[in-house]
């Protein structure tokens, strides 16, 4: 029987013509983060399942439906990370980062796993870049995070962005608000979908995540909004955040229905969408999570951050592939066993001395075929070494732009390629 093994549904191979673009994007992200004073953190791909139950919330879609969890041979329940805020906070607490400085500005570029129904812009293994600023309770920190999210898309040249922002206030108002919400929606003649019926009792804030138009209509007509319940200080905080956004000329809209799908949020929530994306239109999302550090066992520490989907960034950029590999510097054409061996040794010296790219022949092809390969790779020089040249202790160096050829002694060859001449 033929074996036909393919990648798992919802995952994607990144082929060489795509990794070029990914690296470019990653380099821009690293640079952008560094000039804003953020340092990179990398956490393990899997964590103890408890971290996400406590961190994200048992009744969220992510935890109740979308996690890849399994029991390890040692009996522990482990989970492939479905997001990075909880792992970063776990690491922050574990390494006592709060002790060494009052504010930790961290960023990441990594892969995540959610068992969602795959479609355009929605995968089961996907990638995010994001930031977590842990330590400041002040509105300028929220404003910095939202401004960075907006500006990085500008850096990428993505226009047509829509920034929505809201405040869901302090955790203390949650219980009285949720009671009002439940009361408003458990009256006669209101027919929410089955999922929402369950949500009403378990976690009523999640009702706002429902995509069904009928449920949205019911909410529009009947549901009180959490923004109307937030206290004076929280309102002031919100107003200060948006006043900085105005100064920074970030076009935003206040969306009082924006509650976000993870339980850890407090106060500010925000999302940036693009009409380029279709149904899965969120480029990035985030907000403040002032209780998460404490809930995961650390000292009470305020924090705010966002995360952005990289696959969705590529959709918005409209270039998933780039047909031009970067040109190489030198192709080393060798004919015969002795030439091949010598070619390997000399190539290594050229790389070490000049940091140039030198590509060796390992297919024992004819001179003509190797020359064709050198043309395909668009190298600037080829070095030709065959039995005749070895006898004379030299190689032929051909400049592929001018077509000029010269003979260079094997001894001088490693020093022949000065960086300036390329
Ligand atoms: P999130 O809204 O779940 O937030 O995800 C952030 C972004 O990740 C989304 O806006 C989207 O671009 C991308 N994304 C999410 N799911 C998928 C998927 N299945 N396929 C492709 N892209 C996807 C968080 O993850 C929070 N940790 C954000 C945060 C950081 N809040 C505070 N700090």
CA of 264 to the centre of ligand 1 (A): 14
- pLDDT by residue (tens digit) across 157-203? 998 899 999 999 999 999 999 999 999 988 877 888 988 888 888 88
State pLDDT tens for residues 92-102. 999 999 999 99
- Closest ligand 1 atom to the C-alpha of 128? 8
Ligand 1 near 307 CB (within 6 A): yes
Q: How much of the chain exceeds pLDDT 90, in percent?
A: 82
Give the model's confidence band at 327: pLDDT under 50 very low, under 70 low, under 90 confident, else very high.
low
Report the pLDDT value the prediction gives residue 325, as an integer from 0 to 100.
57
Name the residue with tokens 């996400």. Answer: 52
Please state whether the predicted TM-score (pTM) of the whole model is above 0.95: no
Residue with tokens 């560094």: 34
State whether residue 163 is helix, strand or coil: strand
- With a 6 Å cutoff on the Cβ, whether 146 touches ligand 1 is no
Triad 234, 235, 239: Cα angle to 5°:
120
Cβ–ligand 1 contact at 88 (below 6 Å): no
Torsion angle of the four alpha carbons 34, 35, 37, 43, in this order, in degrees rounded to the nearest 10: -20
pLDDT category of residue 261 using cuts at 50, 70 and 90: confident
| Among candidate residues 312, 272, 319, the one with its CA nearest the CA of residue 24 | 319
Distance 164 CA to ligand 1 centre (A): 15
Ligand 1 lined by 311 (C-beta under 6 Å): yes
Q: How far apart are CA 272 and CA 284, in angstroms?
A: 5
Q: Where are the beta strands (DSSP E) in 72-206?
A: 77-80, 104-113, 125-134, 161-167
Reduced 3-state DSSP string for 235-272: HHHHHHHHHHHHHCCCCEEECCCCCCCCCCCEEEEEEE
d(CA 58, CA 35): 37
């Amino acid at each position: 029987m033929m074996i036909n093994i393919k990648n798992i549904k919802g995952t994607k191979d990144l082929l060489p013509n795509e990794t070029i673009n990914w690296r470019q994007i990653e380099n821009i992200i690293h640079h952008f983060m560094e000039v804003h004073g953020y340092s990179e953190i990398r956490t393990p791909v899997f964590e103890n399942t408890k971290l996400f139950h406590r961190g994200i919330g048992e009744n969220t879609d992510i935890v109740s439906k979308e996690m890849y969890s399994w029991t390890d041979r040692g009996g522990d329940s482990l989970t492939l990370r479905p997001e990075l805020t909880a792992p970063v906070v776990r690491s922050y607490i574990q390494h006592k980062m709060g002790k060494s400085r009052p504010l930790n500005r961290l960023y990441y570029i990594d892969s995540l796993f959610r068992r969602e129904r795959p479609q355009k812009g929605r995968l089961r293994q996907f990638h995010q870049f994001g930031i977590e600023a842990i330590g400041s309770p002040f509105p300028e920190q929220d404003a910095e995070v939202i401004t960075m999210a907006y500006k990085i898309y500008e850096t990428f040249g993505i226009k047509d962005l829509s920034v929505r922002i809201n405040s869901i206030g302090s955790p203390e108002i949650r219980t009285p608000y949720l009671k009002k919400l439940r009361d408003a929606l458990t009256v006669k003649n209101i027919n929410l979908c089955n999922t929402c019926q369950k949500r009403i009792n378990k976690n009523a804030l999640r009702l706002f995540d429902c995509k069904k138009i009928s449920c949205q209509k019911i909410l529009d007509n009947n549901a009180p909004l959490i923004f109307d319940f937030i206290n004076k200080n929280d309102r002031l905080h919100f107003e200060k955040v948006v006043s900085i956004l105005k100064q920074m000329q970030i076009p935003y809209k206040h969306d009082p229905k924006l509650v976000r799908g993870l339980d850890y949020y407090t106060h500010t929530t925000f999302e940036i969408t693009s009409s380029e994306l279709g149904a899965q239109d969120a480029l990035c999302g985030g907000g403040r999570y002032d209780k998460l550090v404490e809930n995961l066992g650390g000292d009470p520490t305020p924090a705010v951050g966002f995360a952005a989907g990289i696959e969705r960034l590529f959709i918005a950029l409209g270039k998933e592939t780039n047909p031009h590999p970067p040109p190489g510097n030198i192709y080393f054409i060798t004919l015969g066993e002795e030439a091949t061996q010598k070619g390997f040794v000399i190539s290594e010296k050229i790389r070490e001395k000049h940091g140039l790219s030198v590509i060796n022949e390992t297919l024992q092809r004819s001179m003509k075929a190797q020359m064709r390969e050198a043309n395909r790779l668009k190298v600037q020089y080829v070095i030709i070494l065959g039995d005749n040249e070895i006898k004379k202790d030299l190689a032929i160096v051909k400049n592929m732009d001018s077509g000029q050829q010269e003979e260079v002694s094997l001894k001088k060859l490693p020093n022949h390629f000065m960086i300036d001449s390329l």
